[in-house]
Amino acid sequence: MTVVPREWDAVEYDSLPLPHLEWGDRVLAALSLEGNETVVDVGCGTGRDTEKVLKRLPSGKLFAFDASEEMLKQFKLRIGDDPRVQTVKVDISKPMAIEVGANAIMSVAAFHWISDHEVLFENLSRIAQSGCQLVFDCGGVGNIDNIRKVVDGIIGDEYHERPWYFADPDSTASLLSASGFDVLEASIIPSPIQIDDPKIFARFLRYVVLGSQIDWIGPERADWLVNEVARNLEVPVVDYVRLFVRASKF
C-alpha cells in the first residue's frame, strides 16, 4: 500500500529550527553542478534547499515536485516568480509520465513518506538522463524509534496505520540498481536532536513528527497526544536516523 500524501501546516513547519537544514546541506554538498543543469527537487517542501541550489544554477532549470498544496504555496512565497523554476504538484508514489530530462535529482526528508520504493525509483529513472546524479536523504531503518514506541504505547490500540517506510541501505541499493542507477553510496547516519525548550519541542512534535497520527485521531486531540508523547519521553530527543544515498543513472 502506498501512503496517501498528507497536507502540512507549511507556515508552522517553515518557522521551526529544522534539522532538515543540515541534511539538505549534506545532499547539496554531494551534487556536482556547473550551473546550466536541469535539476529536480523531489519533495521540495517550503523551498529551503531549493533556494540554496538555485544559487548554483545561474543558467539552469529547476523542477520543484511536491504533493502538498500548502507546501507549494509556501515554496512560491519563498522563491517568488523565478523563470528558472517550475513547480509541479505530483504524487511521485504513483506511476507518472512527466518529461524532464534531469541532469540531477535531489531530495531531502521526503522518500520515507512513500511505502513503495520500487515505483518511486522507477519514476525517478523516467525523468533522469543518462549520467543523471541522484542524491537523497530520508528516514532510514530505526528512524524515530523512541517516538514510535511511545506513540504505540499511547494510541496503539486504535492507531494501526504506519505512515512511514524507513528503508535500509541494502534493499535501497538493490531497488535502485533494478531501476537503472549505479549506487555510489548508501549509508545510515544517526542524527538525533534534542530540543530543550518545552514549547518548541511541543510544536516540533505537532507539526513535524506527529502530523499523521493527529490526522488519524482528530485535531481536537492534538494537544493531548503531543503532551502525552512529551511526558513519556525520558528526554526531549527525536532519535533521527538518516539514509543517505548517492547514485548515477546508467
Using one digit for the tens of pLDDT, what is the confidence trace for 115-137?
999 999 999 999 999 999 999 99
Average pLDDT over residues 53-82: 97
Contact call for residues 213 and 159 (beta carbons, < 8 A) = yes
Residue 133 pairs in a beta bridge with: 104, 248
Is 104 among the domain residues?
Answer: yes
Is 103 among the domain residues?
Answer: yes
The CATH number for 40's domain is 3.40.50.150
Q: State the chain's mean pLDDT as an integer.
A: 93
Q: Which domain holds residue 100?
A: 10-145+162-194+237-249
Is 202 among the domain residues?
Answer: no
Is 112 among the domain residues?
Answer: yes
The total number of structural domains in the chain stands at: 1
Is 1 among the domain residues?
Answer: no
In the chain, beta strands by DSSP E:
38-42, 61-66, 85-89, 102-108, 128-139, 181-190, 193-194, 237-238, 241-249
Contact call for residues 74 and 10 (beta carbons, < 8 A) = yes
Is 229 among the domain residues?
Answer: no
Is 120 among the domain residues?
Answer: yes
Comparing 25-34, 59-68, 159-168, 234-243, the range with the smallest average pLDDT is 159-168
Torsion angle in degrees (nearest 10) through CA of 126, 127, 128, 133: -120
**Is 4's pLDDT higher than 50?**
no
Is 226 among the domain residues?
Answer: no
Tell me, what's the pLDDT at 12?
Answer: 82
Tell me, what's the pLDDT at 156?
Answer: 82
Tell me, what's the pLDDT at 58?
Answer: 98
Quote the pTM value.
0.93
Tell me, what's the pLDDT at 1?
Answer: 31
